[in-house]
Amino acid sequence: MSISEQTLAESRELAGRYPKARSGIVPMLHLMQAEVGMVNSDVIEACAEILDISTAEVVAVATFYTMYRMRTEGGEHHIGVCVNTGCGLLGGDALYEALAVKLGVGHNETTPDGKFTLERIECQAACTHAPVLTVDWEFFDHSTIAEAMDVIDRLTAGEEVLPTRGPAVRGWRAAERTVAGLDDGLADEGGGVDELMLAGLKVAKAAESGVDGTVKK
């Protein structure tokens, strides 16, 4: 089995966080994918064994969610372009096309050097910042084609790349560990909430507030 003792130990710890161990399958698949690069037979069997469920049940979950890679290993960096309605209309479709040409790969494909995996992604709940580009699930808000090309060039050169918010880009596998729910200690890096994100909340609160400014229950 190609999965390290450390990952197995962390997986057991994840399973232990839930009243029923099988609830831990989603983070556990991310964690093992971080090590293996995809969800392969080793991952499926290891998950099934730790959670005491059948491999069919593991595959059912793993194939339902698009963030698990079932067929090929992910590249060093994951490039995501939101192509849902808002982002797509505001430049996401063009951004995706440009990146596809630049990288020479299509949806869910990895460049031959193993550097980049391109994916059309679904809504990242950042429509206020459309179009959204993600690199290893870090946000590049209001992304333009020129900026995206620059990000690719700098990643290719091995330079540090900072997203609009959040910590510096660290590679897809490292990000997968964060997605798995393991504390990377980077929660406060690079800022977070901005005025655009809070605009809607402010409107809602103003509407709920009474004349005296107190919030209605």
Partner 1 sequence: MSTTSHEATGSDTPTVKMITGTIDGTDVTVPEGTMIIRAAELMGVEVPRFCDHPLLDPVAACRACLVEVEGMPKPQPSCAVPLGDGMTVQTQLTSEVADTAQKGVMEFLLINHPLDCPVCDKGGECPLQNQAMSVGRPESRFTGQKREFPKPINVSSEILLDRERCVSCARCTRFAEQIAGDPFIALLERGAQQQVGTGEEPFDSYFSGNTIQICPVGALTSEEYRFRSRPFDLVSVPTTCEHCASGCSMRTDYRHENVMRRQSGDDPEVNEEWNCDKGRFAFPYLQLERLATPLVRENGQLRRASWPEALRIAADGLAAARGRTSVLTGGRLTMEDAYAYARFARVGLGTDDIDLRARAASDEETDFLSGEVAGSCGPVYRELESAPAVLLAALEPEEESPIIYLRLRKAARAGTKVFSLGPFASQGLEKMAGSLVECVPGDLATQLDQLDDETAAALSQPGAVILLGERAATEPGAFAAMSRLVQRTGAEWAWVPRRAGERGAIDAGCLPGLLPGGRPLTDETARQEIASLWGIDPDELPATAGRSLAATVAQIHADAKAASEAGEEEEFSPELAALLVAGVEPDDIPNADQFLTALDSVPFLVSLETRPSEVTARADVVLPVAVVTEKSGAFVTWEGRRRPFGTVMPQPTSFTDAVVLALLSDYMDLATPPREVDDLRTELGNLGAWQGSRVSPADVPAGSAQQPGSGEAVLASWRYLLDLGTMQEGEPHLAGTRKPAVVRISAATAAANGVEAGSRVRVSTDTGAITLPVELTEMAENVVWLPLNSPDSQVLVSLGALPGDTVRLERGDV
Q: Which residues of the shown chain bind partner 1 in the complex (CB under 8 A)?
A: 41, 44-45, 48, 53-60, 63-64
Q: Smallest gap, in angstroms, from Cβ of residue 42 to partner 1?
A: 10
CB of 33 to partner 1, least distance (A): 17
Rounded Cα gap, residues 74 and 106, in angstroms: 13
Query: Closer CB to partner 1, residue 70 or residue 100?
Result: 70
Cβ(30)–Cβ(179) below 8 Å = yes
Task: Let me know: does 178 contact 27? Beta carbons within 8 Å.
Answer: no
Q: How far is CA 118 from the centre of its chain?
A: 12
Residues 208, 215: contact at Cβ < 8 Å? Answer: yes
Between 30 and 77, CB nearer to partner 1: 30
Whether the CB-CB separation of 119 and 132 falls below 8 Å is answered with no
Nearer to partner 1, 41 or 85 (CB): 41
Burial class (CB in 10 A: 0-12, 13-18, 19+), 138: buried
Q: How far is the CB of 53 from partner 1 (least distance, A)?
A: 7
What are the tokens at 178?
Answer: 């964060």
Written as one letter, the residue type at 177 is R
Q: Which is nearer to partner 1, 19 or 64 (CB)?
A: 64
Q: Is 159 exposed, middle or buried (0-12, 13-18, 19+ CB in 10 A)?
A: exposed
As measured in angstroms, the least distance from the Cβ of 126 to partner 1 is 23
151 token code pair:
């990000």
Shortest separation between residue 54's beta carbon and partner 1, angstroms: 5
How many of the other CB atoms lie within 10 Å of CB of 157?
A: 8
Instruction: Work out how close the CB of 36 gets to partner 1 at its nearest, in angstroms, rounded to a whole number.
Output: 15
Q: What angle do CA 128, 131, 136 make, to 5 degrees?
A: 105
- In the complex with partner 1, the residue whose CB is nearer, 55 or 128, is 55
